[in-house]
């Protein structure tokens, strides 16, 4: 087993930035996101890291007109949930016109930053 106790939210973002995004998986192939000590689906405690597929597909999104305060200079912005297969992620869609977003579109992972805090972001491949 791989020790995944060093898998934090920060290390998850580091891995995206390094071009090697990962997710956690249990012996029953349930995907989950760090930090985790137990599989939320089946309670297996033997978790290991696996490479995350490079692209995901938008399953829902919203164009946010009244922004979170940290993004007051960036509104409107789009947040979306994208399915990457073993896991599903919420991210801010960057570099895309809000009129040009649709369910089913392909995105890849990147990392954004606002007020010194990093976050999951998506961009077009």
Partner whose binding site includes residue 47, from other proteins, Zn ion, none (CB under 5 to 8 Å by kind): none
Would you count residue 28 as binding other proteins (CB under 8 A)? no
- Residue 107's DSSP bridge partners are 56
Binding site for Zn ion (CB under 5 A): 26, 28, 30, 39, 41-42, 44
Q: Which x/- pattern, by CB under 8 A, does the window 39-58 give for other proteins?
A: -x------------------
Could you say whether residue 79 binds other proteins (CB under 8 A)? yes
- Rounded Cα distance between 116 and 103, Å, is 30
From Zn ion, other proteins, none, which one binds at residue 61 (CB under 5 to 8 Å depending on kind)? Answer: other proteins
Establish if 69 lies at the interface with other proteins (CB under 8 A): yes
Minimal distance, residue 51 CB to other proteins, in Å: 19
100 binds, among other proteins, Zn ion, none (CB under 5 to 8 A by kind): none
Cα-Cα-Cα-Cα dihedral sign, residues 41, 42, 43, 49: negative
Unique residue bearing structure tokens 């290991």:
48
105 binds other proteins (CB under 8 A): no
Cβ contacts of 33-42, under 8 Å, gap ≥ 24:
33/87, 33/89, 34/4, 34/7, 34/8, 34/9, 35/7, 35/8, 35/9, 36/4, 36/7, 37/5
DSSP assignment, residue 27?
T
């Amino acid at each position: 087993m791989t020790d995944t106790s060093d898998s934090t939210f920060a290390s998850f973002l580091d891995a995206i930035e390094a071009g090697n995004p990962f997710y956690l998986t249990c012996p029953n192939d349930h995907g989950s996101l760090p930090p985790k000590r137990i599989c939320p689906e089946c309670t297996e405690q033997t978790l290991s890291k696996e490479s995350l597929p490079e692209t995901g597909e938008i399953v829902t999104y919203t164009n946010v007109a009244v922004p979170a305060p940290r993004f007051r200079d960036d509104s409107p912005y789009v947040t979306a949930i994208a399915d990457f297969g073993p896991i599903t992620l919420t991210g801010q869609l960057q570099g895309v016109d809000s009129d040009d977003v649709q369910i089913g579109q392909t995105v890849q992972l990147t990392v954004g930053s606002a007020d010194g805090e990093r976050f999951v972001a998506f961009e077009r491949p």
